[in-house]
Amino acid sequence: MAKVTFLGNKVTISGKLPKVGSAAPDFSLPDKDLQDLGLSDFAGKKRLLNIVPSLDTPTCATSTRRFNESFAGREDAVALVISADLPFAQGRFCAAEGLKNVVTLSLMRSKKFAKKYGVLIKNGPLEGLTARAVVVIDEKGRVTYTQLVPEIADEPDYDAALKALG
């Protein structure tokens, strides 16, 4: 398993991110309107998964704002922000911040996504949340880029993720 820390303290996660070149595991998660969405709902588009513990933290909020800016005017791709926050809180966050270029999805009904993608935190103060990660999936459903951020409090490599998105 990969090494991940939270504020310098080691945490254990559930597995590994999907391998580059592999088919991305599908999932079903509720959006801000409680509608279940998955990868297949965005078939034919490139997809960037911004996986964060909670939008109620500065780093998660920053990465969501940053990807929102990067996706302005993009018709070929979608940014999915996946967190443990309730859909209502995700909706309020996006409305308050004026974010219209990201789709938020919640882990409120199940941790299956976090387990499939190998990001479920299994111990420590953030147990049950996700580690910070970015996964880029092409329009054919293949993983083209992954980053498991080694320190949960750090931001992801935006440039590398957006370059992989094309």
List phi, psi (to 5°) of 164: -65, -30
Query: Which of the following is catalytic: 48, 60, 82, 119?
Result: 60
User: What is the 8-class DSSP label of residue 145?
Assistant: E
Residue 94: active-site member: no
Angle at 67 between CA 47 and CA 122, to 5 degrees: 75
Which stretches of the chain are assigned E, i.e. beta strand? 4-6, 9-11, 29-30, 36-37, 46-51, 77-83, 102-106, 133-137, 143-148
Instruction: Give the catalytic positions in this structure.
Output: 60
